[in-house]
Amino acid sequence: MKQRLIIFICCAAIFAVCKKTADITPPLQSFADFIKNTEWVGTADRNGFEYPPPCALKFNGDNTFTMYSHFVFFPNGVETRTDSITGNIQSIDVLSNSVTRITTNINTTFRAVTTNYIDVADRKKIVGMSSDAIEPPTFQMDIFPTNGISVYGTHWKGPEWHSTVTDKSYAYPDLDNIHFQADGINTTYTFNGQPVYLSQNTPLQHVYQQNGSRIYMSGYNFLPGGAAISVNNYFGVLLSSGDKMLVDSYTFEARLPNYLYTNEPYGPNGVTPAIYKY
């Protein structure tokens, strides 16, 4: 009788441990439902670029995901630029109680490196990796709030940069003191506390669009003599904090970091440009 009682207690203990493990390991079906239509924000692989470019990833309602950034490829030796690429989810596996692995196969840059895995930690962070553990991550992102964050009616500028007592300047001047109008349509700009004008008595305005974390907008620059204004196209990724936006531009004239400018007039080389809400 005593022997049977010991066996029963041991079996009950093993069952309790197994049950506890099962309870804290999220079912794959639950995870598959969780990631649908979620959005993630951060940066992509910097290799071949001036800095890690801003990137947003959206898991769609099926077994696909779409990545948004400034992508550059060279199919057949021809430079091709695109603002989005789509990948497929091949499988989902639980690696541990906090990490779930999505198997995929997608190239995010012109380098011959494929993203084979997307590891999701605590349902809050994702990292893209190749099957070669030696390679650095192809992207790193945080989850974006489900209910979104609006930039309507907000003001933004770059961090203070190369300032002196008499001349305060800011990094990424094309977007310095940019105001996203509350109408959700136009941006306006100020310079030294005064509105930027397209022509006499006509403030500069330009259409912008927000789609989740992604902001499509334009910056400004004065042409020689200050008589006219050029507008540069920009892409922004709003981070989950809501007060920081990573920015980039396809336009070569955009005033962004470039290793050719060793004095770093527009911001630190190698660092993803960012503007902040104020």
Tell me the domain boundaries of the chain.
28-143, 155-277
Residue 122 has pLDDT above 70, yes or no: yes
Confidence of residue 27 (pLDDT cuts 50, 70, 90): confident
The number of beta carbons lying within 10 Å of the beta carbon of residue 137 is: 18
Residue 3: CA count within 13 A, CB half-sphere: 0
Q: Is the pLDDT of residue 214 over 90?
A: yes
Q: How confident is the model at residue 46 (pLDDT cuts 50, 70, 90)?
A: confident
Q: Does residue 129 register a pLDDT over 80?
A: yes
Confidence band of 12 (pLDDT split at 50, 70, 90): very low
pLDDT at 177 over 70: yes
- The pTM is what? 0.87
Read off the pLDDT band of 113 (50, 70, 90).
confident
Phi, psi of 146 (to 5 degrees): -60, -35
Residue range 197-216: mean pLDDT, rounded: 92
CATH of 28-143, one of 2.40.128, 3.30.110, 3.90.550, 3.40.1350: 2.40.128
Using CB atoms within 10 Å of the CB of residue 11, give its burial: 0 to 12 exposed, 13 to 18 middle, 19+ buried.
exposed
Q: Output the CA–CA distances (angstroms, integers) from residue 169 to 11, 179, 192, 197, 246, in the order listed.
A: 71, 18, 10, 20, 19
DSSP E strands, 89-228: 91-94, 99-106, 115-121, 125-129, 139-143, 155-157, 178-180, 186-191, 194-195, 197-199, 202-203, 206-207, 209-211, 214-222
Q: What pLDDT sits at residue 125?
A: 97
Cβ distance 50 to 269 under 8 Å? yes
Question: Given a cut of 70, is residue 31 above it in pLDDT?
Answer: yes
Among candidate residues 251, 249, 223, the one with its CA nearest the CA of residue 237? 249
pLDDT > 70: what percent of the chain?
89
Q: pLDDT at position 4, please?
A: 44
The secondary structure of 22-71 as a DSSP string is HHHS--HHHHHHHHTT-EEEEEE--TTSSSPPEEEEEE-SSSEEEEEEEE
Using the predicted structure, report yes or no on whether residue 21 has a pLDDT greater than 80: no
Tell me: the pLDDT tens digits for 248-261?
998 888 999 999 88
42, 142 Cβ separation under 8 angstroms: yes
Write out pLDDT tens, residues 131-176.
987 888 999 999 999 999 999 999 999 999 987 666 678 999 999 9
Residue 56 has pLDDT above 90, yes or no: yes
Per-residue pLDDT at 20: 42
Q: What is the mean pLDDT of the chain?
A: 87
Residue 24 has what pLDDT?
57
pLDDT band at residue 221 using 50, 70 and 90 as cut-offs: very high
Convert the pLDDT of each residue in 67-108 to its tens digit. 999 998 888 888 888 999 999 999 999 998 899 999 999 998
